[in-house]
Amino acid sequence: MEQGLNVLGFSYNGYHFSFGQRTYIMGVLNVTPDSFSDGGLYFDLDRALERAYSMVEAGADIIDVGGESTRPGSDPVPLEEELRRVLPVVERLARELKVPISVDTYKAEVARQALERGATMINDITGLRADPRMPEVVARFGCPVVVMHIKGTPKNMQENPTYEDVVAEVKEYLLEGIRLAVEAGLPREKVIIDPGIGFGKTVDHNLEILRRLKEFKALGQALLVGTSRKSFIGKLLNLPVNERLLGTAATVALSIAGGADIVRVHDVGEMKQVVQMADAIVRGYHHG
Ligand code: 8Y7
């Protein structure tokens, strides 16, 4: 079935989501120490807020706040530290911004406290597997949740990932994540699925997922894709992380052609142009 004839809609926390009409842009807001010059003893709240405001100005529909780096090889962050990084930012942004706040966490306690402070969405890179309490938390609030596929952990995921059929295995994992959420009582339409580009995948796995993206749409859920500046682009183009804008643009355009409903990006202003063009071509949607 054509996208756009099949609109997935719901409201939560005063925000309405209507997937299928146009592509939503999720802007990345890292609140990890390496993002800041002071080495992490003290987070510059105002700098994080500035960055969020500028992404909204540039066209972000959602701001994704994350307190743990999940780059390959990175270590987990203790609960207390993650709460300390994330909660003040969430509280201020939820009060001051006119777009919904997503919280990138796999810890149920972080999710619970962030949702109490006004967050609208939870982005779980483990697809509800890391913390057995996560399904009940998102179900109790009735908030949208991103169920992402990962093979392994951020620490070890890039150590020789193998699949018989990467799309089949990722789909199975996402189906189980949907089941966990629905079983806990969350309405199915609030589960957003994500194949987890770069999370336990080789360059060829990532390319095959993007090539076969439409197969994920068959699960009937809204679809998020995060390719922004990722290492598969760097490896293909032989470019460092600060020179991957055009490579990212190509993946964003093709993700939308493949049925993505949300794209998670760092360079919001630039990708807004890509999204507008792709939405006009793919969906016949003209951004205002
Ligand atoms: C993704 C993500 C990251 C992604 C979702 C990076 C937190 C790595 N990537 N969440 N997070 N999807 N849902 O390079 O692809 O931004 S972190």
pLDDT 10s per residue in the chain (288 long)? Answer: 444 456 789 999 999 999 999 999 999 999 987 544 445 455 678 889 999 999 999 999 999 999 998 888 888 999 999 999 999 999 999 999 999 999 999 999 999 999 999 999 999 999 999 999 999 999 999 999 999 999 999 999 988 999 999 999 999 999 999 999 999 999 999 999 999 999 999 999 999 999 999 999 999 999 999 999 999 999 999 999 999 999 999 999 999 999 999 999 999 999 999 999 999 999 999 998
Q: What is the pLDDT of residue 42?
A: 54
Q: What is the pLDDT of residue 32?
A: 83
> Structure tokens of 35?
């993002």
CA distance 245 to 271: 9
State the pairing for strand pair 24-30/262-265: parallel
Q: Yes or no: say if 80 and 45 are a contact pair by the CB < 8 Å rule.
A: no
Q: What is the pLDDT of residue 3?
A: 44
Contacts with 107 (C-beta within 8 Å, 6 or more apart), sequence order = 79, 82, 130, 131, 134
Choosing from 85, 102, 125 the residue with most ligand 1 atoms within 8 A of its CB, the one to mutate for a pocket test is 125
Ligand 1 in reach of 170 Cβ (< 6 A)? no
196 Cα–ligand 1 center, Å: 7
Q: Among 229, 283, 277, 237, which Cα is nearest to 258's?
A: 283
12 Cα–ligand 1 center, Å: 23
Q: Which domains does the chain have, with CATH numbers?
A: 8-282 (3.20.20.20)
Specify the long-range contacts of residues 38-43, CB closer than 8 Å, at least 24 apart. Answer: 43/84, 43/85, 43/88, 43/89
Q: Which pTM was predicted?
A: 0.96
Q: Among 231, 243, 222, which Cα is nearest to 199's?
A: 231
Catalytic residues: 230, 264
> Cβ–Cβ contacts within 10 Å for residue 47, how many?
14
Residue of the CA atom closest to atom 15 of ligand 1? 226
> Structure tokens of 76?
């987990």
226 Cα–ligand 1 center, Å: 6
2 Cα–ligand 1 center, Å: 27
Choosing from 34, 153, 264 the residue with most ligand 1 atoms within 8 A of its CB, the one to mutate for a pocket test is 264
CA distance 218 to 214: 7
Ligand 1 in reach of 230 Cβ (< 6 A)? yes
Amino acid at 128: L
